[in-house]
Structure 1
Amino acid sequence: MIYLLTLLSGVLTGLAMPGNLFSFLIWGSLIFFLKNLDNSKRTLDRFLHTFIFAFSMLFTTLWWQLPVLSKNIPDILGSYSSFMGVLGFIGEILLLSLPYLLIWLLTEIFNRKFRETSFWNKVLFYSFAYTSAEILKDFGDLAFSGGSLGYAIWDHVGLIQLASIFGYLGLTFLIVFVNSFLAFDKSKYWFYKLPIVLSVLFILNFSIERFIPIENIEKDPLKITAVQTNESQEIKYNINSWKSYVDFSDKLRQAEKTNSDLVIFSESTFMEDITKNEVYDAFKINVKDIGKDVILGFPKSEAGEYYNTAWYFDEQANLVDSYNKIGLTPFAEFLPYEFIFDNFASFKLLRFYERGSEPGVFDVNGDKLGVQICFETYFSEISNSQVKNGAEALISITNDGWFGTKTGLTQHFTQGIFRAVENRRDFVQVSNTGFTGHVDKYGRVVKAIAPFQEEITTFEINKNDGKTIYFHIKEILKLLILIAALIFAIL
């Protein structure tokens, strides 16, 4: 029965994640897991509780990847079977669960025999231990922050302002602290404290939100025209560059009529390097005709190697700059730890890519834009490095056409909310199927195009060159959390 309660904790936590059910579930969803973990007397029991929670939480959070891996990709590319896709999804969840075993290891130290622990000792220990596990998720070739607790409160506009000081990890700490406060209360009526705690959090969130300044458009904002094509992957992956160009040309002509400085298309606008064929000449004529700068994505082929690249052309169709993706997606874009996962090469999409070396910051007529590609928005380090290199606003281009559900699209788009608050930079995501949208520096969605529809719209982006507290203390904060977790485990 106790394992079922831990399983319930994991499922409820996953259901609190963006696009699933209700975010407020996160404020009590960990209680059963924390109680069971702390009350267990055996090492094996603590291990099982940790693993069951992590696996069920991640499975429920990332369930939308199952149809992507087992149906969408096999149907379109035919590179592996649907059964292999199911196994691949289960393997992915297993790998993503591994960092959470740090909670178990620290708990083994914390719960040693004959040790007396107080209420506050437990509350702080589990808060630091869980946050430490999320720090571990950011390391290595399998790094992926999806499923981190802080992301659940993306719609708590007041509370997420803490991310400008402590990042999304600080929000995770707050969530575990609240859950631990309720879980380890030994009083007879502890359950009745839950609505009180929720009320306090609601009032606090509302109060902070009320004092957030209204974002006024600057005298000279950067005007961006975003193009959401809603082109299916079946079409995108089965037509040549000329047919892709026809659609691109049509959308570019429509964008010409907008009042903007820059037109942005999604990742994988073309599926091959058009600079190597005759499409490039027609492309340049098209860009020059509309008289606007253009950013778009297509692969770069260079000396037999490929890069997932964002390209920037000025209004005269001159290639000004390009950015090769740094944060590649494991298995889909590169093979991590090849000596272990050599047999999983079939999970790649069209090809494997080489990793870029420099943060993508484009100088667009004097405005510095940090440009990211697809899942790079999950890595706060990339946004941080772009701000360090002068980025005044952040932009992401992505090919989310693989995701057939709003859950996957929502979880991806909401990453921009946290990157915006952490850096106090306006954030724009341009996706082929959605969400395409503009988030202000306080994490508020200013304007967005609904998913699965074709639309061209213009965003007015404010620039900012200030630095947040989180920008300055990011690395030392991680170190302090890890040290605190170890200290509370030992002392």
Structure 2
Amino acid sequence: MQYFFTLISGILTGLAMPGNLFSFIIWFSLVFFLRNMVNSKNYYQRFLHTIIFSASMLVTTLWWLFPTLTKNIPQVLQNYPSFLGFLGFVGMIILLILPYLIIWLLAELFHRKNRTYNLLYLSLFYSLAFTSAEILREFGDLAFTGGNLAYALYDHTGLIQLVSIIGPMGITFIIVFVNSLIAFDKTRNRSINMLIIFSFIYLLNFSIVRFLPDINYTNNSIKIGAIQTNIPQEIKYSSDIYKNYSVFSKNISDFQSKDVDLIVFPESSFLEDISNSDVLDYMKMDIQNSSKPVIIGYPRFDGENYFNSVWFYNEYGTVINVYDKIKLTPFAEFLPYEAFFNNFQMFKLLRYYSPGEKFNIFEIDSKKFGVQICFETYFPEISASQVKKGAGFLIAVTNDGWFNSKTALLQHYTQGIFRALETRRDFVQISNTGLTGSIDRYGRITNVFKDRQENNGILYVNYNDSFTIYSQISALLKVIILILALLIAIF
């Protein structure tokens, strides 16, 4: 029965994630898991609880990848059967579980015979151990931060202002600490204590929201012409660049008479390098007619390697800069640890890419900004590196056409909330099928287009060149958390 409750704990945690059920569940969803870890009598019981919790949490959080791998990609590309997609999903979950084993390893050091500990000490240990697991998820070729506990609080606008100081890892620490206080409280007043804790949390959240500055867009705001092309994957991957160009031409002409500073198209508006195609000549003429700079995504081929790239054209149709995607998607865009995963090449989308080497930033009217591609928004270091190079606002371009679920789109889009908070930079996402919209520096969604329809409009951002505390100390904070978790486990 104890393993069943751990399973429930993992499922509840997954249901708290964006687009699933209710975010407030995260404040008590870990209670069963934490209690079972403490009450376990030996190492293999704690091991099983760790595996069951992390697996059920990840599956419930990332369930939308299952139809993507078993149905959507095989139907479009026809390069592997659905059952291989099922195996791929299972394999992905197994790989994502691995960092959570640090919780089990640290717990084995912590739960020694004849050791005594109180409520505060237990709560502190598990908060540090769980936060350490999420930190480890950021490293290596298989890194992926989807499902981190902090992301459940994307709609707790007041509380998540702390991200600018302690980052998402700090929010995770607070979440686990609150769960631990509830899980390990053995007093008669547990119900009253829970009520006090929840009342304090939401009173604090409400109070902070009340004091946040109003959203204020002026004539000095940067106006971005955002284009949600909504090209179906079966058309996009048919490599018919003329159909894709017709969508480009129609949308850019809509902005010809509008007052915008920049026009932005999604990732992979073309799936081929069009540098030697007559389509490029047509596209340049359209840009010249619009008299506005344009950002558009399509691959770059240097004669040897392909790069997933974003191109920046000035108002005269001349390429000013290019950014090559640095954080490629494992298996879909590159093969990680090739010696071990050599038999998993069927999951690549069209081709493998080489990673970019520089965090290039772009500039309009002497204002610098960063552009990132697709799932790079899941990695704080991309935004942080661009901000350190002078970016005053951030743009993400993505496809997201593989996902039929609103949950998938929302989980991706809300990454921009945390990148905005970490850097205090306004954040814009431009997507093929959605979600396309804008987020201000306080993590508030200021505009969002309806998904799965062709649409364009103007998104506003304000420039900011200040630095947050978190952007200065994030690396040090991670090291401190890892060291503290180990020290408390040992001593």
TM-score with structure 1 setting the length = 0.99
Q: Amino acid of the residue matched to residue 33 of structure 1? A: F
Q: Residue 463 in 1 paired to residue 463 in 2?
A: yes
Counterpart code for 2:313: F
Give the Cα separation in 2 of the matches to 1:110 and 1:312: 53
Per-residue deviation, 1:276: 2.1
The SS at the match of 1:235 is helix
SS in 2 for 1:276: coil
Q: Which amino acid aligns with 1:236?
A: K
Whether 1:108 aligns to 2:103 is no
Kindly state the Cα deviation for residue 63 of structure 1 after the two structures are TM-superposed: 0.2
Shift, 1:177, TM fit? 0.5
Give the deviation of 1:192 after TM superposition: 4.3
Deviations along 1:298-318, whole A, 9 cap, x unmatched? Answer: 000112210000000000001
Map 1:292-331; keep pairs closer than 5 Å: 292-331=292-331
Q: Distance in 1 between matches of 2:449 and 2:325?
A: 25
CA RMSD between the two structures: 0.9
Which residue number in structure 1 is paired with residue 167 of structure 2? Answer: 167
How far apart, CA to CA, are the structure 1 residues paired with 2:337 and 2:190? Answer: 47
Q: Which whole-Å deviations, capped at 9, do the CAs of 1:251-274 have from their partners, x for residues lacking one? A: 111122322011000001011001
Alignment check: 8 A CA contact 2:13 2:25 kept: yes
**Distance in structure 2 (CA, Å) of the matches to 1:189 and 1:341:** 53
Shift of 1:101: 0.1
| Superposition map of 1:386-425 within 5 A | 386-425=386-425
Q: CA deviation at 1:183?
A: 0.4
SS at match of 1:429: strand
User: Are the aligned partners of 1:267 and 1:399 in contact in 2 as well (CA < 8 Å)?
Assistant: yes
Q: Counterparts of 1:209 and 1:390 in 2: how far apart (Å)? A: 28
Who is 1:75 aligned against? 75
3-state secondary structure, aligned to 1:459: strand
| Counterpart position of 1:240 | 240
1:39 corresponds to which letter in structure 2?
N
One-letter identity of the residue aligned with 2:204:
L
- Aligned 8 A contact 1:258 1:458 in 2: no
Q: What residue is the counterpart of 1:62 in the other structure?
A: 62
Q: 1:344 corresponds to which residue?
A: 344
1:332–1:348 contact (8 Å) kept in structure 2: yes
Deviation at 1:218, TM superposition (A): 4.0
Please state whether the residue corresponding to 1:60 is helix, strand or coil.
helix
Write the mapping of 1:86-165 to structure 2, written as runs, cut at 5 A.
Answer: 86-165=86-165
What residue identity is the alignment partner of 2:108?
E
Q: 1: distance between equivalents of 2:408 and 2:257?
A: 32
Q: After the TM superposition, which of the residue ranges 226-235 and 237-246 deviates more from structure 2?
A: 237-246
CA deviations 1:194-223 (Å, max 9, x no partner) are 333222111110001111111322441111
5+ residue gaps, structure 1: none
Cα deviation 1:63-101 (Å, max 9, x = unaligned): 000000000000000111100001101110110010000
1:289 corresponds to 2:289: yes
The residue aligned with 1:369 is 369
Residue identity in the other structure for 1:204: L
The list of structure 1 runs, each at least 4 consecutive aligned residues, that deviate by more than 3 angstroms after superposition, is: none
Query: Who is 2:483 aligned against?
Result: 483
1:227-274 deviation per Cα after TM superposition (whole angstroms, max 9, x unaligned): 011111111111411221111111111122322011000001011001
Report what 1:186 is aligned to.
186
Q: Quick one: which amino acid aligns to residue 400 of structure 1?
A: D
Between the aligned partners of 1:355 and 1:250, the Cα distance in structure 2 is 32
What amino acid is the match of 2:254? Q
**Could you tell me the percent identity over the aligned residues?**
55
* Amino acid across the alignment from 2:253: R
Deviations 1:148-182 (A, max 9, x none): 00000000000000000011111100100000010
1:428 Cα deviation (Å)? 0.1
Q: Is the 8 A contact 2:437 2:448 kept in 1?
A: yes
Q: How many pairs are equivalent?
A: 491
Q: Distance in 2 between matches of 1:284 and 1:156?
A: 44
Q: Secondary structure at the match of 2:260?
A: coil
Residue equivalent to 1:229 = 229
Q: CA deviation at 1:193?
A: 3.0
Instruction: Provide the C-alpha distance between the structure 1 equivalents of 2:92 and 2:425, rounded to a whole number of angstroms.
Output: 32
Distance 1:74 1:304 in 2: 28
1:39 match: 39
* 2: CA distance, partners of 1:430 / 1:243: 20
The answer to whether the 8 Å contact 1:360/1:372 transfers is no
Q: Output the amino acid matched with 2:83.
A: F
Preserved CA contact (<8 Å) 1:223 1:261: yes
| Contact 1:157/1:443, CA 8 A, preserved across alignment | yes
Matched, 1:453 2:453: yes
Aligned to 2:4: 4
Tell me, in whole angstroms, the C-alpha distance in 1 between the residues paired with 2:3 and 2:326. Answer: 40
Q: Which residue of 1 is the match for residue 211 of structure 2?
A: 211
CA contact (8 A) 2:239 2:272 kept: no
CA shift at 1:4, angstroms? 0.4
CA contact (8 A) 2:239 2:271 kept: no
Letter in 2 for 1:255: F
